């Protein structure tokens, strides 16, 4: 019995001081001369009714803004331009050195150098393209995260608004002025 009374008193205190978000606080005034005890009881009953009606308990609802970290998305293809250039250089040199130029030794080495230059250029172009695509994909992923966070914030605000309207309707129905 004593534990029940303590729990009820704690819940009444919680409901009496509930505030939501940044500046949304529900103020009630006993317009029909209700006592402080009656007002606390009515606030608690309206709190429970609003929670059951809306499915939202503002005492346990966590704002997405308070749990959201800055959106940083890494480019998974970062460095591909350099890797492409290196791989292209090596591949071009290998391919160039295998090309036979009328059996002359010095021309074989010229082919290797030429192949390395062509391979470096092609590898650099391909790598740069992959790296640029990686930046575009990272930007798209960051935008998706931002849209999801905005949707979660909007859903949170809707839940709080619905709860506030339900709570206010209940208190007004019990002859309180609610602001």
Q: pLDDT digit string (tens) for 130-179?
A: 777 777 777 888 888 889 888 999 999 999 999 999 999 999 999 999 99
| CB 73, CB 140: distance < 8 Å | no
What H or E segment, with its residue span, contains residue 57? none
Residue 5 CA from chain centroid, whole number: 41
Rounded CA gap, 119 and 126, in Å? 10
Q: How far is Cα 53 from Cα 117, in angstroms, rounded to an integer? A: 72
* Predicted TM-score of the model (pTM): 0.57
DSSP H or E stretch at residue 146? helix 105-173
Between 19 and 88, the higher pLDDT residue: 88
| 117: exposed, middle or buried (Cβ count in 10 Å: 0-12, 13-18, 19+) | middle
């Amino acid at each position: 019995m004593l534990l029940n009374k303590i729990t009820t008193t704690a819940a009444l205190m919680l409901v009496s001081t509930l505030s939501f978000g940044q500046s949304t606080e529900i103020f009630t005034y006993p317009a029909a001369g209700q006592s402080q005890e009656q007002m606390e009881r009515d606030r608690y009953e309206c709190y429970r009714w609003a929670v059951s009606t809306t499915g939202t308990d503002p005492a346990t609802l966590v704002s997405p803004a308070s749990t959201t970290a800055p959106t940083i998305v890494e480019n998974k293809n970062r460095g591909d331009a350099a890797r492409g250039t290196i791989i292209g250089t090596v591949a071009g040199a290998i391919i160039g050195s295998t090309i036979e130029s009328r059996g002359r030794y010095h021309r074989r080495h010229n082919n290797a150098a030429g192949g390395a230059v062509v391979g470096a250029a092609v590898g650099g172009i391909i790598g740069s393209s992959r790296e640029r695509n990686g930046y575009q994909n990272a930007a798209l992923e960051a935008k998706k995260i931002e849209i999801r966070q905005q949707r979660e914030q909007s859903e949170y605000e809707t839940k709080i608004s619905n709860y506030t309207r339900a709570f206010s309707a209940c208190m007004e129905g019990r002859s309180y002025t609610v602001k």
